[in-house]
Amino acid sequence: MTDPLFPIPPRDLPISAASPGKCIVFGEHAVVQGAPELLFAIDLTTQVVVTTGPATRLNADGEAPRKNPYFGSALNLAWQGGPPLEVRSVSRIPKAAGLGSSAALVACLAATFGAARGGVDRSRLAQRSFEIERGAQGVGSPGDTSTVVAGGFVAINGGPGSPLWSVSAPDHEWQVRRVNDPGWVWVLAYSGIPHSTGDAVRAVTARLREPGGPALLDRFREVATEGIDAVGRGDRGRVAALLARNQELLREVGVSHPRLEALIAAAAPAAEGTKLTGAGVGGSVLCLPVPGKETELVRRLARAGGLPFVVRPAPAGVALVEP
C-alpha cells in the first residue's frame, strides 16, 4: 500500500482532490482545552474540482466566498493574490452532522490550492487546514482537520503511537499521533438535527470554567486516555464501557439532545456501546455494534428517526484525484 502520508505534489489547474470525513471516538470538546482525543477518518468522502474561471464561485454560486465561511477562509488564507476560481464540490457527508463535512471541504481546498502553488507536505497541510477551519469557526481544535489529512485512526495529545505532526494556535499546541486500526466495523447515525460547532464549543468552554469544571475536564482526560489505550490494544469490551462513560460526561456538559438519547436507547440491544460524536446538541451518534447485529442496529437506528451509515475507517487522508 502507498504511504498514506505522501506529500501533495505540484499540479497545474484544473485540480481535483477527495477527502474522507471523520468521527470522534473519545474526547470531543475537552480537546479544545488541550485534553486527549481519538478520531478516525471515515469512508464517506467529499470531492472538489478546482479550475480558473471569470469569477470565483462555489457550485455556481458567486456569493459563496462571502456566504460560506469555510470557502471564504480558504480563499483568504491559501489563495491570496491568485486568479478567480471555479470550484465544484460533491459530498456524501451530511452537513453540520459532526461527521467532518467542513474539515473535508477545507482539506480538499487546502490540498488543491497547495498543489497549484508548488505542492505541500502533510504536516504543513494539517496546520493550514486547521487555520482555515478556525478562521471560519473562530474556535476549535485541529482534531477534525488533522484526521482527514492523515486518514486512519489519530490521537490528539495522547497515546504511545508514532508522532505525525504538531499543530499550533496562538494559545495552544496539539501533538498528533498515529493509533492502530483495530479493524472493527462501526455504525453512525445522523439525528437530522444540524448543529453549530462554534456555539456548542463556546457553551462547553464556559461550563468548564465554572466551579467543578476543571474536575470534569480531568474525567474527560481520563476516559480519552484509557480509550486511546483500549482501541490500540483492540479491547472491545473496554472501549464499549468507555463510550458509555464519555457519553455521561457529554450529558453533564450539556451537549446531548433528546433525539440523540432516543437513538442511543434504540441502539442498545444491538450495540456494545454508543455515544454522541462531534459537537453534539444534535448531530450524530457513533455505535460499536454487537458483532453480527450490524443490520439489526441499522434498522433500529432508522426506526428511531436516524440516518444510519455503516462505516469503515478510511486508511488514507485527502489526496489528489483525476478531475
Which residues contact residue 220 at a Cβ distance below 8 angstroms, ignoring those fewer than 6 apart? Answer: 27, 29, 30, 35, 246, 249
Among 79, 115, 123, 144, binds ligand PMV (CB under 6 A): 144
Least Å from the CB of residue 131 to ligand PMV: 13
Provide the residue type at 141 as one letter: S
Interface pick for ligand PMV out of 21, 25, 29, 208 (rule CB under 6 A): 29
Using CA atoms, how far apart are residues 44 and 42, in angstroms rounded to an integer?
Answer: 6
* CB closer to ligand PMV out of 42 and 271: 42
CB 289, min distance to ligand PMV, A: 21
Quote the least distance from Cβ 248 to ligand PMV, whole Å.
17
Give 33-83 as a DSSP string.
Answer: GT--EEEEEEEEEEEEEEEE-SS-EETTBTTHHHH-HHHHHHHHHH-TTPP
**Helices 122-137/143-150 angle, 10° precision:** 150
Write each residue from 261 to 300 as x if it is in contact with ligand PMV (CB under 6 A), else as -, in one continuous string.
-----------------xx---x-----------------
Candidates 126, 189, 201, 267; binder of ligand PMV (CB under 6 A) is 201
How many chain residues bind ligand PMV (CB under 6 A)?
Answer: 15
Q: Which stretch binds ligand PMV (CB under 6 A): 12-20, 21-29, 46-54, 87-95?
A: 21-29
Cβ count within 10 A of residue 6: 12
C-alpha cell belonging to residue 219: 474525567
Near ligand PMV by CB under 6 A, which window of 41-49, 51-59, 137-145, 242-250?
Answer: 137-145
C-beta neighbour count of 302 within 10 angstroms: 13
The x, y and z cell numbers of residue 320, run together, are: 489528489
Q: Does 140 bind ligand PMV (CB under 6 A)?
A: yes
Query: What residues make contact with ligand PMV under the rule CB under 6 A?
Result: 24, 28-29, 31-32, 98, 140-141, 143-144, 197, 201, 278-279, 283
